[in-house]
C-alpha cells in the first residue's frame, strides 16, 4: 500500500513540475528509417537554443522543424516539432532534457517509441476487420509462364513479375522491377506507347480478390535469353509507394497556424522482394549437323525457299530466298553467307515484318550458262525434342546464255567471257599503251555550248511535259475508277449497254431470254436507276416510269407462275425492242444526271483535310494522321497541315515524329509563334538541346530563303532603276539609294546562302522512333552496330543506297533504313 501511494505522489510531482511543458510523439510505433515527430507544447517563448540529448538507435533531424500556435482555454499555446528517424529496430528512448521557457527551467518527460522493420508494420484490413503485417499485405513472386526449369543457351525464357498490394494501401508504382541473378542473361527490349524503351512490357494493373481481401495486382512480363550454360536463380524486386493507415490523413500545419489547403496522403516507399521460381538449368546446344547450314534459330520452324523464277540468263540478277514460319527465338538468327557454283551471291537481307515469319533474301547473278543443281540443308534447333530439325531444299535452275556481253564486276575481279567465245589473252600493259593516228574527223561540237544545247533541251522538256500530261490524265482516270462510284457507273453503262442490247437481239430461246433478264438486264437497270447493289426486281420495276416497260417487267416477275403458252409470249421481238429502248433511255438519263450533278468528277466524300479534322476531334489520332497525309501536297506543303500532323503525333506520344512535322512547319512559317513554341516543348520533352545559332542566326532565320530571294531581286531592281535615273536625282539621294539597295542585296544574298547550307539544307533530317542503330553496312542484319542514337536527334543525310541512307548524328555516321528518318525538305 505504501508503494502504491508513493507511486501516485511521484507521478503527481512530475505532472506538477511539467505543467508548463508537455511533450508527445505523433506515433508510438514507427517503421525503421522513417521520419516521425517529437512535439513540445508550452506557454511563452523558449530562451536560447535547445540542447537535444543523444539518441541510441535514432537521429535528430533538426533541419525538419515545425512551429505552430493554437488557442487552448483562452490561452496561447506554442508548439515546436522536430523530426526523428529510427535507425535500428527496437525501443527508441527519448530521454528527458531541460528547456528554458521565459526564464524558468522546465524538464521534459522521457518517451519510448517502438521502431520495427517496415515489413513488420501492422496494417488494418478494413474488409476483413483484422490487422496484418505489411509484408503480408504487399508481396510478390517471379514465375515462369512456360512452367519449365530447363532451357538451352539462346532460348527465350518468358518471365513474369507479379506484385499484389491491399487496395486500402493505395499503392503506386515507383519504378519498374529490378532483376538479380541474371548477369548471364540478356533482356528483350519493349516499345511503350509513350515512346519509351524498357526491358519489361507495359504492366497490366487490375483489381483482384484473394482470400476474401481486395488487392491491386501488378503484372510485368519480359523475356530473357541465356548467354552461357549453367544454373541461374533469378530474383526480382519492385519499389512501391504505399499509404499506411495511420498516414492517410491531412498534412499538419507548417508554421503559420493552419494546415495544407488540401488533404493529402503521406506515402511510404516500400521495396518488395519477390519469391524465386527456383533454379533454372541452362544447357549447351549440341553440335549442329555437319552437312547442314545452321540458321541459329531455336523453336519449331518450317522452311521453304528457292529462286524467284524458273529460268535465268547468265549475267541477269535474280533472287534466292528462305522463308521460315513458326515460333521460337528469332534474336539468335544467323543469316548465312551462301556460295553457289558459277554464281555470285550477294550478302543476305533479313525481313522480320510479321511475328513468326522470317524471310532471308539473296541477290544472285549467274555467271555461266548451264543447268544449276544443288541440294541444300538448313538446321534449326527444337528445344522440345532437344535435337536439330534439318530442312532440305532441292534447287534446280536452268541458266540460258545471254546475247549481251557480261560486264566486269559480276565475278570476283575478272570479267566473264562472252558466250561461245574464248576469253582474250591479257595484254602487256606497257605494250598496249600505243598512240594511234585518228583517220576520221569525228563529230563536231558547236559553240557556244549552252546556246546550241538549249533547243534540244527544250524539245526534251516539251516531250517530257507531254508524256507527264498523258501519264497524269491516265492516273487521274485510274484514281476516279477506284474512288468515284459514279464514274465507274458511267464507264460501265457506256461499255455494257450496247453489248447487252446486241445479246438481247441475238437471243434464240425463251429460257435464254429470261436468264439474260435476271442475270444482266436487272443489274444494269439498277445501275442506271442509281439503286444499291442487290436491288430486287420489284424495286427496279417500281422506279420505271415508262408504262409499257413497267408492265412488261411486272409480267416477267410472274412468269414462273404462268402457263407455258402465256410465258412464251414474253419472248417476242416487240418485247426485245421495248427492253432495248428502255436500256438506252435510262442509261442516257443517268449520264445526263452525272454530268449535271458531278461536272468535274467531284468526290462524294468530304475532303481528306476535313476527314482529318473530324478524326482529330474524335480522338482518333492515327486516322487523323492518315487523312492529313492524304491532304498534304509534298511538293507544296501547307504549314497548317504539317502543324496538325505534328499535333496528332504529339498526342499519340510519338515525340520524334511530332518534332519532324513541327520542324517542317517551322521552316515554312518561321514567324508563327504557336509552331515555334510547340517545337520548343517537343525538344524539351525529348531532352534535346535547343538550336542556338546566336543572335545573328535567330534574326537570319526569321525569314525564309525564298523571301530573301525576293528581297534580293527587289534590291537589284532598285539598284538598276536608281542607276538609270541617277542624273535626274540629287547626288546624295542617289548615293544613299544605291548604298542601301546594295547593302540589302548583299545581306539578303548572304542570309539566303548560309540558310541553304545550314537550317534549310536539303540533307537535314530527324531520327524517328525511340532509338536507332547506325550500322556499318547498308543492310538490316549484316555489318556491325556503329552507334545507337536517340529518337528526335538532328541528322544529316550523307549517302543513299536503295532502301538505306547513311546519316551523320552527333559525330557518328552509319547506315539506317530510309523510313527511319524524316527529311525536313
Q: Which CATH number goes with the domain that contains 361?
A: 2.60.40
Pair 363, 189: CB distance under 8 Å: no
The closest of 311, 309, 307 to 398, measured between CA atoms, is: 311
Query: What is the Cα–Cα distance from 399 to 512, expressed in whole angstroms?
Result: 53
Q: Where does 126-211 show beta strands of DSSP type E?
A: 130-133, 138-143, 150-152, 157-166, 172-173, 178-180, 185-187, 190-191, 197-198, 204-210
- Tell me the pTM: 0.42
Q: Does residue 315 share a domain with residue 221? A: no
* Rounded average pLDDT per 10-residue block, the chain, 825 residues: 43 44 84 84 82 86 79 79 87 88 85 82 60 79 88 89 87 85 80 74 86 86 87 88 63 38 63 85 88 88 90 86 88 83 84 84 87 90 90 90 56 37 40 38 47 60 63 66 58 65 70 69 66 63 73 65 56 68 62 46 57 87 89 80 89 89 86 85 78 68 81 81 74 85 87 80 85 79 74 85 81 84 84
For cell 490561452, name the residue: 75
> 3-state class of 31 per DSSP?
strand
Q: Does residue 253 share a domain with residue 148? A: yes
SS3 labels along 594-609: HHHHCCCCCCCCCCHH
Query: What is the Cα–Cα distance from 151 to 146, expressed in whole angstroms?
Result: 11
- Please give the full DSSP string across 210-276, using - where no structure is assigned: ETTEEEEEEEEEEEEEESSSEEE--EEEEEEEE--GGG-S-----SSSS--SS-----EEEEEEPBP
List 322's β-bridge partners, or say none: 305, 360
Q: Does residue 353 share a domain with residue 243? A: no
For cell 493552419, name the residue: 258
Last residue of a domain, one of 597, 627, 656: 597
Range of the domain at 207: 120-281
For cell 500545419, name the residue: 253
Q: Does residue 142 share a domain with residue 253? A: yes
The closest of 131, 123, 113, 142 to 30, measured between CA atoms, is: 113
Number of domains in the chain: 5
Do the domain assignments include residue 273? Answer: yes
Query: What is the Cα–Cα distance from 627 to 596, expressed in whole angstroms?
Result: 29
Pair 123, 133: CB distance under 8 Å: yes
Q: Which CATH number goes with the domain that contains 65?
A: 2.60.40.10
Secondary structure letter of residue 336 according to DSSP: P
Pair 299, 380: CB distance under 8 Å: yes
For cell 498523258, name the residue: 470
Last residue of a domain, one of 247, 281, 315: 281
Three cell numbers, residue 721: 532603276
Do the domain assignments include residue 603? Answer: no
Q: Does residue 130 share a domain with residue 260? A: yes
- Please give the full DSSP string across 475-508, using - where no structure is assigned: HHHHHHHHH-HHHHHHHHHHHHHHHHHHHHHT--
| Count of positions (residues) in the chain | 825
Q: Does residue 140 share a domain with residue 27? A: no
Query: What is the Cα–Cα distance from 468 to 462, expressed in whole angstroms?
Result: 10
For cell 538598276, name the residue: 720
Q: How many CA atoms lie within 13 A of 589 on its CB side?
A: 15
Secondary structure letter of residue 520 according to DSSP: I
**β-pairing verdict for 75-86 and 35-42:** antiparallel
Query: What is the Cα–Cα distance from 39 to 66, expressed in whole angstroms?
Result: 9
Q: Does residue 323 share a domain with residue 275? A: no
Cis check for the bond before 450: say yes or no (omega within 30 of 0): no
> In sequence order, which residues have a C-beta less than 8 Å from that of residue 251 and are 6 or more positions away?
259, 260, 264, 266
- What spatial distance separates the first Cα and last Cα of the chain, rounded to whole Å? 100
Cα angle 499, 500, 503 (rounded to 5 degrees) comes to 90
Cα angle 807, 809, 814 (rounded to 5 degrees) comes to 40
Q: Does residue 327 share a domain with residue 217? A: no
- Please give the full DSSP string across 56-124, using - where no structure is assigned: TTEEEEEEEEEEEEEEETTEEEEEEEEEEEE-SSEEEEE---EEEETTEEEEPPPEEEEEE-GGG-EEE
Do the domain assignments include residue 425? Answer: no
In whole angstroms, how large is the CA radius of gyration of the chain?
43
Pair 449, 406: CB distance under 8 Å: no
Q: Does residue 48 share a domain with residue 185? A: no
Instruction: Find the Cα–Cα–Cα–Cα dihedral 656, 659, 661, 665, rounded to 10°.
Output: -170
281 backbone dihedrals φ, ψ, rounded to 5°: -90, 130
Do the domain assignments include residue 804? Answer: yes
Query: What is the Cα–Cα distance from 682 to 692, expressed in whole angstroms?
Result: 16
Last residue of a domain, one of 400, 435, 451: 400
Strand order in the sheet with 90-94: 29-31, 111-116, 90-94
Do the domain assignments include residue 440? Answer: no
The Cβ of residue 720 has, within 10 Å, a number of other Cβ atoms equal to 11
Q: Does residue 514 share a domain with residue 556? A: yes
Pair 153, 68: CB distance under 8 Å: no
Secondary structure letter of residue 46 according to DSSP: B
Q: Does residue 262 share a domain with residue 147? A: yes
> In sequence order, which residues have a C-beta less than 8 Å from that of residue 294 and are 6 or more positions away?
288, 334, 336, 378, 379, 388
Do the domain assignments include residue 605? Answer: no
The Cβ of residue 792 has, within 10 Å, a number of other Cβ atoms equal to 25
pLDDT of residue 467: 63
Do the domain assignments include residue 669? Answer: no
Q: Which CATH number goes with the domain that contains 782?
A: 2.30.30.40
CA 62 to chain CA mean position, Å: 50
Cα angle 815, 821, 825 (rounded to 5 degrees) comes to 120
Cα angle 721, 727, 731 (rounded to 5 degrees) comes to 95
> In sequence order, which residues have a C-beta less than 8 Å from that of residue 824 and are 6 or more positions away?
660, 663, 664, 667, 764, 765, 766
Do the domain assignments include residue 534? Answer: yes
Longest dimension (CA), the chain: 146
Query: What is the Cα–Cα distance from 534 to 665, expressed in whole angstroms?
Result: 48
**β-pairing verdict for 29-31 and 111-116:** parallel
Cα angle 55, 57, 63 (rounded to 5 degrees) comes to 60
Query: What is the Cα–Cα distance from 416 to 427, expressed in whole angstroms?
Result: 17
The closest of 12, 115, 99 to 52, measured between CA atoms, is: 99
**524, 537, 550, 563, 575 from 557: Cα distances, Å:** 17, 7, 11, 14, 14
Q: Does residue 124 share a domain with residue 112? A: no
Amino acid at each position: 500500500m505504501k508503494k502504491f501511494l508513493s507511486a501516485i505522489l511521484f507521478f503527481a510531482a512530475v505532472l506538477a513540475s511539467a505543467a508548463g511543458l508537455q511533450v508527445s510523439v505523433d506515433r508510438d510505433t514507427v517503421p525503421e528509417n522513417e521520419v516521425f515527430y517529437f512535439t513540445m507544447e508550452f506557454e511563452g517563448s523558449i530562451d536560447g537554443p535547445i540542447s537535444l540529448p543523444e539518441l541510441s538507435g535514432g537521429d535528430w533531424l533538426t533541419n525538419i522543424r515545425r512551429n505552430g500556435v493554437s488557442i487552448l482555454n483562452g490561452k496561447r499555446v506554442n508548439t515546436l516539432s522536430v523530426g526523428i528517424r529510427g535507425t535500428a529496430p527496437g525501443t527508441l528512448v527519448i530521454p528527458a532534457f531541460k528547456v528554458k521557457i521565459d526564464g524558468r527551467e522546465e524538464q521534459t518527460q522521457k518517451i519510448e517509441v517502438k521502431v520495427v522493420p517496415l515489413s513488420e508494420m501492422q496494417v488494418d484490413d478494413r474488409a476483413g476487420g483484422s490487422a496484418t503485417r505489411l509484408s503480408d499485405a504487399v508481396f510478390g513472386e517471379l514465375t515462369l509462364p512456360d512452367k519449365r526449369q530447363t532451357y538451352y543457351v539462346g532460348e527465350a525464357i518468358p518471365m513474369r513479375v507479379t506484385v499484389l498490394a491491399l487496395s486500402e494501401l493505395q499503392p503506386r508504382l515507383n519504378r519498374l522491377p529490378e532483376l538479380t541473378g541474371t548477369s548471364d542473361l540478356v533482356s528483350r527490349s519493349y516499345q511503350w506507347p509513350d515512346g519509351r524503351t524498357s526491358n519489361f512490357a507495359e504492366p497490366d494493373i487490375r483489381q483482384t480478390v484473394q482470400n476474401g481481401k481486395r488487392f491491386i495486382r501488378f503484372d510485368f512480363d519480359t523475356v530473357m535469353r541465356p548467354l552461357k550454360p549453367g544454373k541461374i536463380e533469378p530474383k526480382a524486386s519492385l519499389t512501391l509507394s504505399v499509404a499506411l493507415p495511420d498516414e492517410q490523413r491531412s498534412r499538419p500545419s507548417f508554421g503559420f497556424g493552419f494546415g495544407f489547403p488540401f488533404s493529402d496522403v503521406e506515402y511510404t516507399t516500400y521495396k518488395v522482394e519477390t519469391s524465386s521460381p527456383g533454379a533454372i538449368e541452362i544447357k549447351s546446344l549440341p553440335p549442329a549437323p555437319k552437312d547442314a547450314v545452321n540458321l541459329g534459330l531455336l523453336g519449331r520452324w518450317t522452311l521453304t525457299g528457292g529462286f524467284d523464277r524458273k529460268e535465268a540468263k547468265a549475267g541477269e540478277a535474280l533472287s534466292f530466298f528462305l522463308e521460315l514460319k513458326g515460333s521460337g527465338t528469332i534474336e539468335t538468327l544467323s543469316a548465312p553467307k551462301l556460295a553457289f557454283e558459277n554464281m555470285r551471291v550477294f550478302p543476305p537481307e533479313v525481313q522480320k515484318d510479321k511475328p513468326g515469319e522470317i524471310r532471308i533474301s539473296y541477290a544472285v547473278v549467274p555467271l555461266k550458262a548451264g543447268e544449276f543443281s544443288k541440294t541444300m540443308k538448313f538446321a534449326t534447333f527444337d528445344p522440345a525434342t532437344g535435337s536439330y530439325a534439318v530442312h532440305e531444299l532441292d534447287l534446280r535452275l536452268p541458266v540460258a546464255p545471254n546475247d549481251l556481253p557480261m560486264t566486269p564486276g559480276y565475278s570476283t575481279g575478272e570479267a566473264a567471257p562472252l558466250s561461245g567465245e574464248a576469253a582474250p589473252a591479257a595484254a602487256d600493259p606497257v605494250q598496249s599503251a600505243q598512240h594511234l593516228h585518228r583517220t576520221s574527223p569525228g563529230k563536231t561540237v558547236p559553240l557556244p555550248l549552252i546556246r546550241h544545247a538549249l533547243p534540244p533541251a527544250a524539245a526534251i522538256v516539251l516531250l517530257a511535259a507531254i508524256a507527264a500530261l498523258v501519264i497524269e490524265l491516265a492516273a487521274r482516270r485510274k484514281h476516279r475508277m477506284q474512288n468515284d462510284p459514279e464514274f465507274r457507273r458511267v464507264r460501265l453503262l457506256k461499255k455494257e449497254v450496247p453489248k447487252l442490247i446486241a445479246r438481247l437481239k441475238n437471243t434464240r430461246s425463251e429460257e435464254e431470254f429470261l436468264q439474260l433478264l435476271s442475270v444482266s438486264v436487272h443489274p444494269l437497270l439498277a445501275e442506271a436507276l442509281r439503286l444499291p447493289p442487290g436491288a430486287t426486281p420489284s424495286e427496279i420495276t417500281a422506279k420505271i416510269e415508262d408504262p409499257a416497260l413497267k408492265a412488261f417487267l411486272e409480267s416477267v416477275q410472274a412468269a414462273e407462275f404462268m402457263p407455258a403458252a402465256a410465258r412464251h409470249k414474253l419472248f417476242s421481238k416487240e418485247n426485245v425492242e421495248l427492253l432495248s429502248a428502255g436500256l438506252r433511255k435510262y442509261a442516257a438519263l443517268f449520264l445526263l444526271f452525272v454530268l449535271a450533278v458531278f461536272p468535274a468528277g467531284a468526290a462524294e466524300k468530304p475532303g481528306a483535310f476535313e476527314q482529318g479534322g473530324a478524326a482529330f476531334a474524335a480522338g482518333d489520332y492515327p486516322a487523323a494522321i492518315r487523312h492529313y497525309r492524304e491532304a498534304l501536297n509534298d511538293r507544296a506543303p501547307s504549314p497548317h497541315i504539317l502543324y496538325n500532323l505534328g499535333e496528332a503525333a504529339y498526342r499519340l506520344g510519338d515525340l520524334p515524329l511530332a518534332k519532324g512535322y513541327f520542324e517542317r512547319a517551322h521552316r515554312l512559317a518561321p514567324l508563327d509563334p504557336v509552331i515555334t513554341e510547340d517545337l520548343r516543348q517537343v525538344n524539351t520533352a525529348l531532352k534535346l538541346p535547343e538550336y542556338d545559332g546566336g543572335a545573328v542566326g535567330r534574326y537570319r532565320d526569321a525569314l525564309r530563303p525564298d523571301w530573301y530571294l525576293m528581297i534580293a531581286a527587289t534590291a537589284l531592281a532598285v539598284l538598276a532603276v536608281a542607276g538609270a535615273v541617277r542624273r535626274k536625282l540629287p547626288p546624295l539621294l542617289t548615293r544613299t539609294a544605291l548604298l542601301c539597295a546594295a547593302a540589302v542585296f548583299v545581306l539578303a544574298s548572304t542570309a539566303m546562302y548560309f540558310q541553304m547550307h545550314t537550317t534549310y539544307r536539303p540533307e537535314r533530317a530527324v531520327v524517328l522512333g525511340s532509338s536507332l542503330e547506325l550500322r556499318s553496312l547498308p543492310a538490316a542484319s549484316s555489318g556491325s552496330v556503329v552507334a545507337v542514337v536517340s529518337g528526335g536527334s538532328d541528322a544529316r543525310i550523307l549517302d543513299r543506297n536503295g532502301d538505306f541512307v547513311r546519316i551523320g548524328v552527333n559525330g557518328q555516321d552509319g547506315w539506317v533504313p530510309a523510313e527511319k528518318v524524316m527529311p525536313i525538305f
